[in-house]
Structure 1
């Protein structure tokens, strides 16, 4: 029990370090820097939604694939992944409604392609989800759900302040503060449950590192 508790404590600290590094990188992302200093434009917001949508639609498929690769000894993780996929499989529709609400074309949005960062992120997620018992994806969830819970609502509020947007135009980001807060609570429970050994902890941290870098790259490479 002592070893498990020690590994869990170390895991939390290591993930906190990954998050701190992500925060530093996000502060340098051009669109987020403009958002922070109040020079962001409606076109910036439209481009951000356009680029996010192409990756968001892949979320449920890779989670479902991961669920299918957990064996019976990882039943709790399989169950959590299935539940998560079910909860998120319509999220992209909220994003599409926001995009149309700010004057974007739904046909153009749906015909869009991933930018180079999104391609790398989705490719990595599907590749990792194909592994037997892909426990490391908990690190990906730590990053992706953490951004929703800790950053999305703040970004939405700032877009509204600068651009005068209505709640109906930032619904996707606002929704994820509450939804992803619940998911991060579920994740924290799993990480502290005692089922994560040292090898799994290393995989979780490594996956978090990769996903943090690729998610930031997605935001850096808008339209590329």
Structure 2
């Protein structure tokens, strides 16, 4: 697996007139390079992972995934009526995300994990930092910068999750119902990125908003790498 891998249905960011998508494309390139150095992802690419490694990854991801819908809903609640379209988009997104942790939990149990142990888990230090930052940004008035977080997280699902799912299957011989969480996000998040691109290239995004979006995307990409790198470190 390399950083140049593409997935059917995912449309990589293309430069737009304002330059915002070009700037976000640079953030994505940097993010991919950092992901390639994450120990568990490097082991996955090399074929050196175990079922225990996969369980460990799911266990750590779940503790932050449960916060996905709440921080998006928080952002929606802080858009005023002049940003009604962004509020509506965030509400719809939160609704789509709020059961994601259940998919992950089923995969975890399907590979021999304990649901009780999973639900009793704590966020690792990267997950704590990521969730804290997302809720902080979502609590701002008209938190348009959160679009940058969505760009990174939805892009990760659309472009990387399906690749990881197939690689775990190749290396570990897992069934489809053991990698459903990752495989599902390939298609679901590809659809989300199309909607997001339409917003990012609209007249709604001025220069100040673009700067906030890029800044948030850059921070979230770094914190997500920390989450994947600091597995079980609490």
- Give TM-score, length-normalised by structure 1: 0.96
- CA–CA distance in structure 2, aligned partners of residues 215 and 194 of structure 1: 29
Secondary structure of residue in 2 paired with 1:184: helix
Root-mean-square deviation (CA), in Å?
1.0
Aligned pair count reads 219
Give the Å deviation of 1:141: 0.3
- CA–CA distance in structure 1, aligned partners of residues 41 and 207 of structure 2: 36
Secondary structure of residue in 2 paired with 1:212: helix
Consecutive unaligned residues in structure 2, runs of 5 or more: 1-14
Contact conserved, 1:7 with 1:197, CA < 8 A, in 2? no
2:195 to 156, 162, 186: 186
- Give TM-score, length-normalised by structure 2: 0.92
Question: What's the counterpart of residue 135 of structure 1?
Answer: 144
Give the Å deviation of 1:9: 3.4
Question: What's the counterpart of residue 49 of structure 2?
Answer: 40
More helix by share: 1
Question: What's the counterpart of residue 35 of structure 2?
Answer: 26
Contact conserved, 2:74 with 2:138, CA < 8 A, in 1? yes
Question: What's the counterpart of residue 9 of structure 2?
Answer: none
- CA–CA distance in structure 1, aligned partners of residues 69 and 230 of structure 2: 23
Is the alpha carbon distance of 1:60 and 1:152 closer, same or farther for their aligned partners in structure 2, counting shifts above 3 Å?
A: same
Moved over 3 A (4+): 6-9
Contact conserved, 2:78 with 2:143, CA < 8 A, in 1? yes
Question: What's the counterpart of residue 92 of structure 1?
Answer: 101
- CA–CA distance in structure 2, aligned partners of residues 194 and 34 of structure 1: 43
Contact conserved, 2:16 with 2:22, CA < 8 A, in 1? no
1:177 to 179, 182, 186: 186
Give the Å deviation of 1:8: 4.8
Give the Å deviation of 1:194: 1.4
Counterpart check, 1:205 vs 2:217? no
Contact conserved, 1:8 with 1:194, CA < 8 A, in 2? no
Give the Å deviation of 1:192: 1.1
Question: What's the counterpart of residue 8 of structure 2?
Answer: none
Question: What's the counterpart of residue 24 of structure 2?
Answer: 15
